[in-house]
């Protein structure tokens, strides 16, 4: 079974000492296999373990209604003539413990901007996690650079820092670790390699609001951190994104880049558009929704943590169920999803797909996580494009294809099972239903073959 790096008591102490408000006090109930039901599985026609619905997401906060209507009536809908985007930037920077925040149209545009501001250019290479959403490496292509995948540690679901150095070439300019599902990556090790090879680090924290690593919020650990506020996210606004950093000059450059290249701060006023930027601005309505959602983010984060700890303690008692392991230095996940690995051979050779269908039938929504993204069609499509062939010699692209072999990531893509963050907003009884349902399936595993 995977060993957690901190105890429950340490997690509570750490979180309480931080900016996360009062922790919910959870007692993990005693649970033995004698409490396991032998009833027929729901997938085989038996009764469901969980009959009721799960918390819906997003949750509409009525406090936003008047502010949005008032703003609508002013006609000041863009950041150029309204104050709400700047207000949000200030509040988000404070929440994260960063000097500066720049709001953007999306997480994708935040990542494109941060990479470009840090100097990633056509023909460069960027090291990236493969166990992630497509945007994490698409933004590298958008900057006309080559994403080079670093294998995943299946136990942590994160970039394996011991695999980074072998992937560095003379074209490598940056590392883009992804705090996937909200799990903080091993940033000390990643930053050490970056420092040794003079590489920039952009954290993809698009799923990791309030994740914590050695007392700091994730997103503040590299040169820049990027977030997404898309509809499903723990801090949602339909669409939206942000870059945070303590580097003032870098943030000036990001601001200029996201605003068509107009001068800003230290970006010189040598012309109307001194640098080559684009329009990646956030709208006023997004900022108002975000500020209303920020009223609940701490409380929700604590509820998810309490429920995750209950699941951690109980699920690891079931053979074949291995909850995620926190990376060294990681203190708290943001739990955009709760992940565990399903080890088929320890579960009577039931396949993962069958297990997922059986769990869904018991009234517990879950899914299988990311696939082998490093083999996705968009990659070959880009590598074979006319422009890309001009940027990279055929020998480099051939080598890239030969090295695009990721055994750790491949293993994880066949084992992962996830619960979405709204499931973790359920009650303690809901969590116990999850444990009961998985235990029921384990006890009746022979009926699934
Ligand atoms: C890990 C990761 N990176 C980047 C993004 C891109 O964010 P957006 O959808 O806001 O553009 C997402 C969004 O789902 C994500 O999950």
Ligand 1 binding pocket includes 183 (Cβ within 6 Å): no
Measure Cα distances from 227 to 40, 295, 357 in Å.
Answer: 44, 18, 32
Sign of the CA dihedral with 380 first, then 381, 383, and 384 last? positive
Shortest-distance atom of ligand 1 to CA 178? 1
| Ligand 1 geometric centre to CA of 107 (Å) | 5
pTM of this structure: 0.93
d(CA 167, CA 189) in angstroms, rounded, equals 15
* Token pair belonging to 26: 């959870």
CA of 445 to the centre of ligand 1 (A): 36
Distance 269 CA to ligand 1 centre (A): 33
- Whether the CB of 182 sits within 6 Å of ligand 1: no
Angstrom distances, CA of residue 124 to CA of 140, 288, 319, 392:
9, 38, 45, 9
Our answer on whether the CB atom of 178 is closer than 6 Å to any ligand 1 atom is yes
Distance from Cα 240 to the centre of ligand 1, integer Å: 10
Report how far apart the first and last C-alpha atoms of the chain are (Å, whole number): 24
- What pLDDT does residue 62 have? 84
Distance CA 238, CA 228 (A): 10
Question: How high is the mean pLDDT in each 10-residue block of the chain (449 residues)?
Answer: 37 36 41 58 98 96 90 97 97 98 98 98 98 98 98 98 98 98 98 98 98 98 99 98 98 98 97 97 98 97 98 98 98 98 98 98 98 95 97 98 98 98 98 98 95
- Nearest ligand 1 atom, CA 336: 16
Q: Is the CB of 245 under 6 A from ligand 1?
A: no
CB 203 near ligand 1, within 6 Å: no
Q: What are the structure tokens assigned to 338, written together?
A: 């709760």
Q: Which of 67, 199, 66 is nearest to 128 (CA)?
A: 199
**Which H helix or E strand runs over 257?**
helix 248-258
Residues 6 or more apart from 367 whose CB is under 8 A from it?
A: 356, 417, 418
- In the reported structure, the alpha carbon of residue 108 is separated from the centroid of ligand 1 by a whole-number distance in angstroms of 6
Closest CA to 260 of 73, 60, 138, 113: 113
206 close to ligand 1 (CB < 6 Angstrom): yes
Question: Ligand 1 atom closest to Cα of 132?
Answer: 1
Q: How far is the CA of 335 from the centre of ligand 1 (A)?
A: 15
pLDDT score of 117:
98
Is 225's C-beta closer than 6 angstroms to any atom of ligand 1? no
CB 114 within 8 A of CB 120: no
What integer pLDDT is reported at residue 37 of this predicted model?
A: 53
User: Using N-to-C axis directions, what is the helix angle for 297-315 and 428-443, rounded to 10°?
Assistant: 30
Does the CB atom of residue 135 touch ligand 1 within 6 A?
yes
In angstroms, the Cα distances linking 363 to 50, 212, 359, 360, 406 are 5, 32, 7, 5, 34
Supply the pLDDT for residue 31: 46
> Which numbered atom of ligand 1 lies nearest the CA of 109?
11
For 154, which DSSP code? T
pLDDT number for residue 38: 65
Whether the CB of 113 sits within 6 Å of ligand 1: no
**Cα–Cα distance measured from residue 304 to residue 140, given in angstroms and rounded to the nearest whole number:** 32
């Amino acid at each position: 079974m995977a060993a957690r790096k901190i105890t429950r008591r340490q997690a509570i102490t750490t979180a309480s000492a931080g900016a996360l408000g009062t922790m919910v006090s959870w007692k993990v109930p005693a649970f033995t296999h004698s409490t396991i039901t032998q009833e027929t599985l729901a997938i085989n026609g038996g009764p469901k373990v969980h009959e009721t619905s799960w918390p819906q997401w997003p949750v509409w906060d009525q406090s936003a209604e008047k502010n949005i209507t008032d703003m609508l009536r002013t006609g000041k809908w863009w950041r150029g003539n309204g104050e709400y985007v700047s207000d949000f930037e200030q509040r988000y920077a404070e929440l994260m413990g960063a000097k500066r925040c720049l709001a953007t149209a999306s997480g994708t545009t935040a990542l494109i901007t941060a990479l470009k501001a840090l100097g990633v250019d056509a023909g460069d290479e960027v090291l990236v996690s493969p166990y992630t959403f497509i945007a994490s490496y698409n933004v590298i292509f958008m900057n006309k650079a080559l994403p080079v995948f670093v294998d995943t540690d299946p136990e942590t679901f994160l970039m394996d820092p011991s695999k980074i150095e072998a992937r560095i070439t003379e074209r490598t300019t940056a590392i883009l670790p992804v705090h996937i599902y909200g799990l903080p990556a091993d940033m000390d090790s990643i930053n050490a390699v970056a420092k040794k090879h003079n590489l920039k680090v952009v954290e993809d924290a698009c799923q990791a609001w309030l994740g914590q690593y050695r007392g700091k919020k994730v997103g503040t650990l590299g040169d820049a951190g990027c977030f997404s506020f898309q509809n499903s996210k723990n801090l949602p606004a339909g669409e939206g994104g942000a870059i945070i950093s303590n580097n003032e000059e870098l943030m000036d450059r990001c601001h200029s880049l996201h605003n068509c290249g107009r001068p800003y701060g230290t970006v010189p006023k040598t012309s109307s558009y001194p640098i080559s930027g684009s329009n990646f601005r956030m709208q006023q309505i997004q900022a108002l929704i975000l500020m209303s959602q920020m009223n609940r983010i701490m409380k929700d984060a604590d509820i998810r943590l309490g429920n995750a700890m209950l699941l951690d303690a109980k699920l690891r008692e079931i053979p074949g169920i291995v909850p995620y392991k926190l990376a060294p230095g990681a203190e708290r996940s943001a739990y955009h999803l709760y992940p565990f690995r399903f080890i088929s051979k320890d579960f009577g050779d039931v396949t993962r797909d069958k297990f997922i269908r059986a769990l869904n039938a018991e009234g517990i929504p879950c899914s299988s996580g990311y696939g082998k993204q490093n083999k996705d069609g968009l990659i070959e499509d880009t590598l074979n494009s006319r422009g890309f062939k001009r940027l990279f010699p055929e020998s480099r692209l051939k080598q890239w294809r030969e090295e695009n072999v990721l055994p750790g990531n491949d293993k994880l893509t066949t084992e992962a099972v996830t619960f979405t963050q709204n499931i973790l907003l359920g009650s303690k009884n809901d969590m116990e239903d999850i444990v009961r349902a998985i235990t029921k399936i384990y006890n009746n595993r022979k009926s699934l073959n």
